[in-house]
Amino acid sequence: MKKVLIDGESLTIEDVLAVARQGAKVDLAASARGLVERSHLWVNEIVNQGKPVYGINTGFGIFAEERIPSEDSAQLSRNLILSHAVGTGTPLDDEIVRAAILVRANTLAKGFSGVRVEVIETLLALLNNNVTPVVPSQGSLGSSGDLAPLSHLAMVFTTDERDLVSESGLARFEGMILSGKEAMARAGIDRIVLGPKEGLAVNNGATFSAAIAALAVYDGETLLRNAELSLAMTLEAIMGCSAAFDERLHAARGQTEHSDLPPRRAGSIRHPCVCRTRSQRAHQVHRGHTGKQRRRSPDRRVRQSRLRRRPYRAERPAGGEWVPHRCCSGICGRALILVPARCRQTRRGGYGRG
């Protein structure tokens, strides 16, 4: 199974999917470990010097001017988590919670949050041991941060000197919903006491929003890719008209977005004169190009006779000619299109072999 290595810089949507839905294991890169340790030393220096810095040794919000003694910094972080764990609504799906844990761990791995390496390792232990906190779906403050959802997550893997079961949240482990304390104990993971700045680092960020968006982007691209392939295959099966997908028509109208599609998508639908597709071969069988002449319907003979009587070209541009276009399902209106000389239609209505 794929193993994801987080360093704060290279996490992809595919990585999020592998961890959230496929249960991939996660580890912290050695390069990120050094950055995290350095930022934590910086926080310790501030605490030792006694300089007032918001979120480290001060209150929050309207209490930002209140100084907090260094010996109370751990309780400050714990109180921040407990006070914001007030979400409501049905629980989020496990895949969303797992994606959010990965995103939060990756954010902390950047080395700008001042947390200990142990905080990140505990988050990764939740993923690697399939301990999934139960997180209510309502309570995010949007751009101000998913404070309530992240606090419910943090309740499971953090504790304080009282270590109350009622303050450990809920988690799913081995198919059962348990208290966070019991789930962590069964999984063999130690709950940690948050230090200075760590409470703010854990519950401040649009992490669940990013997790939901990552999964939605992947699902959206999957649906779009399948829709394109379905369209192409359906067009082949019904011998549909593909002239509307000619890139020269889009270029003439200034619709150049299709040129940004990967070759896989852009090549799903091709002009029938350019590529000998299945529908073209089927058309040639009907026309008798394989030696097996089929009886033509009266309606088809009429349409073909009209095509023969119609003037063939308005002019002959260099490298091609204006010809009436015929697709596999019949005549596509009366529009004349410029077709390269190597693949232009002959007077008898068939396709050239170039």
Annotated domain spans of the chain:
3-215, 242-343
Q: Answer yes or no: is pLDDT of 263 > 60.
A: no
The pLDDT assigned to 145 comes to: 84
Q: Which residues contact 258 (CB under 8 A, 6 or more apart)?
A: 247, 250, 266
Nearest to 344 by CA among 328, 318, 317, 325: 325
Confidence of residue 143 (pLDDT cuts 50, 70, 90): low
Q: Using CA atoms in the order 333, 257, 209, 57, what is the torsion angle rounded to 10 degrees?
A: -170
**Residue, of 236 and 219, whose pLDDT is higher:** 219
The pLDDT assigned to 258 comes to: 62
Confidence of residue 25 (pLDDT cuts 50, 70, 90): very high
The pLDDT assigned to 257 comes to: 67
pLDDT, average across residues 198-218 = 95
19-23, 76-80, 153-157: which range is least confident on average? 76-80
The pLDDT assigned to 184 comes to: 97
pTM: 0.72
Tell me, yes or no, if 54 is annotated catalytic. yes
The pLDDT assigned to 275 comes to: 39
115-140: per-residue pLDDT in tens? 999 999 999 999 999 999 999 999 88
d(CA 141, CA 185): 32
pLDDT, average across residues 235-249 = 83
The pLDDT assigned to 251 comes to: 83
Most confident of 39-48, 282-291, 296-305: 39-48
DSSP state of 129: T
Confidence of residue 99 (pLDDT cuts 50, 70, 90): very high
pLDDT, average across residues 195-205 = 92
Task: Check the CA dihedral 104-109-113-115 and report its sign.
Answer: positive
Catalytic residue among 54, 218, 312, 351: 54
The pLDDT assigned to 334 comes to: 39
**Residue, of 165 and 338, whose pLDDT is higher:** 165
Confidence of residue 66 (pLDDT cuts 50, 70, 90): confident
How many CB atoms lie under 10 A from the CB of residue 328? 22
The pLDDT assigned to 120 comes to: 97
What's the mean pLDDT when you consider all of the chain?
A: 79
Q: Which residues contact 107 (CB under 8 A, 6 or more apart)?
A: 8, 113, 205, 207
> What homologous superfamily is domain 3-215 in, according to CATH?
Fumarase/aspartase (N-terminal domain) (1.10.275.10)
